[in-house]
Amino acid sequence: MKTEITVLLADDHSLVRRGFRRMLEDDPDMRVVGEAADGAEAVRLALELRPRVVVMDVAMPGMDGFQATREILRHQPETAVLVLSMYAEENYVRNAFDAGARGYILKNALDVDLASAIRDAAAGKQVLGPGVLAPSAEPADSYDRLTPREKQILQLIAQGNSNKEIAHLLNLSVNTVAVHRANLMDALGIHRTAELVVYAVRRGLVHLP
């Protein structure tokens, strides 16, 4: 007897979540155990419900999909996160895998078999959907020397969050955030917030409309 695959859907559009739920309800091997409308809720529900697979949108308000992926895997490394995105650019794919995602598929690909992608992710396979290219090897730079927490804070700074807002999102003290902020700016050789934003945009860490 096959083990049922439990799934958490994280997307800020309720119609998208409803459509995915309907697709998966037809599969006897899968059960949708919860839905999240933003990254913070995705983290909370993932820790509470412990799904085998989280289907994670990238562009969500507050804590985005990359941030939420890092937080979930920091607590539950056995969870498979499958990123579902409108963005096909290599930087986004690289950032998803850097955050620990097991797979990356495009929302607008007509021939995506979501159930098969979830099955593969649950089995430990790397999943690349139609139209998604594996990121090429990138020359090492200062970003690679940042800790996972510093990468998170860099992204949240670039998205316009204050130290206080970041502390609330990541459940840290404002002091701790300030120390991480100073460390990452030193590591990157960047000392102005505006320059950090430009750097983050170039790396695909900020989702532009």
Q: Cβ(83)–Cβ(96) under 8 Å?
A: yes
Rounded mean pLDDT of 84-108? 89
What order do you get walking across the sheet with 103-106 strand by strand?
Answer: 30-36, 5-10, 53-57, 80-85, 103-106, 127-128
Mean pLDDT of the chain: 89
Look at residue 112 and tell me whether its pLDDT is greater than 80. no
| Per-residue model confidence as pLDDT tens digits over 126-183 | 999 888 888 776 656 788 888 889 998 998 998 888 999 999 988 899 999 999 999 9
Label residue 209 by pLDDT band (50, 70, 90): low
What is the domain-level CATH number for residue 32?
A: 3.40.50.2300
Cα(65)–Cα(50) distance, integer angstroms: 17
- The pTM for the full model equals 0.75
Are 116 and 15 within one domain? Answer: yes
Q: Which domain holds residue 191?
A: 142-202
Are 121 and 159 within one domain? Answer: no
Single-letter amino acid code for the residue at 5: I
Q: Look at residue 207 and tell me if it is in a domain.
A: no
